Amino acid sequence: MIWSVYILTCRGGRLYTGVALDVAQRFEAHLAGKGARFTRSFPPESILVQWPCESQSVALQLEHAIKQLTSAHKQALAAGNHSLLLKYFRFENGVWCKQSTFAE
């Protein structure tokens, strides 16, 4: 099973970050109002970006890190500017991985 982190574009230009095994299925759940409280308040419009992760642990850590970013930084990340997260993660062959050591 491959865990992925995704960012949705939601009503009002808001962004939602989540983690799932099947992003398309999770997106459908959000559309049906069965997703997060946020997406019930601000319905999703599209999947902005999704990335596979080497493990569930990395996916959850990456999701948390992305949620700390500003909307502008999330947009930059979605456009391919991964530098914001390279202190803690590495992006290899299109997959997010954990750095071998975390810089404190």
User: Does residue 103 have a pLDDT over 60?
Assistant: no
Domains of the chain by start residue, with CATH: 4-98 (3.40.1440)
User: Does residue 101 have a pLDDT over 70?
Assistant: no
pTM for the whole structure: 0.90
How far apart CA 89 and CA 58 sit, in angstroms, is: 8
- Look at residue 102 in the predicted model and tell me its pLDDT: 47
CB of 16 within 8 A of CB of 67?
no
Query: Which secondary-structure segment (H or E) carries 16?
Result: strand 14-20
Q: Quick one: pLDDT band at residue 99, thresholds 50, 70, 90?
A: confident
